[in-house]
Amino acid sequence: MNQTIDLELNVTTEQGLRALAEEGHTVEVLCKADPERKGPSWYGLWIMRTVGSDGQAKILVTARTRVTQNAIRVREFKTATGVISFLVGVGFFQASIPMKNGETTSHRLFSD
């Protein structure tokens, strides 16, 4: 017996995140470690996910890994500047970054 199983992964790449944000999904930034200030920069650990109107979330993963090798890795941002640069690159005009472990901030693209 030969069956095909369609699995919908709860992950997305940068390109997928951009497309989902353009479709109206919320992009959330999750703080995974309290940031520390070192000189003029903030270092911590942040990840991102999209959340659709149905509540389904997809975590941002690196595009350099291969699904066939079970090597999906969550994309981690280790500086506040990295988070800001990514969000601006997606199309956001402002960036809100959680600064405490466990906190989340949300972003939505608005069309004119």
Q: Name the residue among 107, 40, 32 with its Cα closest to residue 76.
A: 32
**pLDDT tens sequence across 10-29:** 999 999 999 999 999 999 99
Strand partners, 36: 43
The residue ranking higher by pLDDT, 111 or 81, is 81
**pLDDT tens sequence across 63-103:** 765 555 666 789 999 999 999 999 999 999 999 999 999 99
Mean local confidence (pLDDT), 46-72: 83
- 3-class SS of residue 16: helix
Q: Name the residue among 94, 77, 89 with its Cα closest to residue 41.
A: 77
Question: Residue 9: its pLDDT value, please?
Answer: 74
Per the prediction, the chain carries an average pLDDT of: 89
Question: Residue 86: its pLDDT value, please?
Answer: 97
Angle, CA of 45, 57 and 47, to the nearest 5° = 10
Give the C-alpha separation, 89 to 66, whole Å. 24
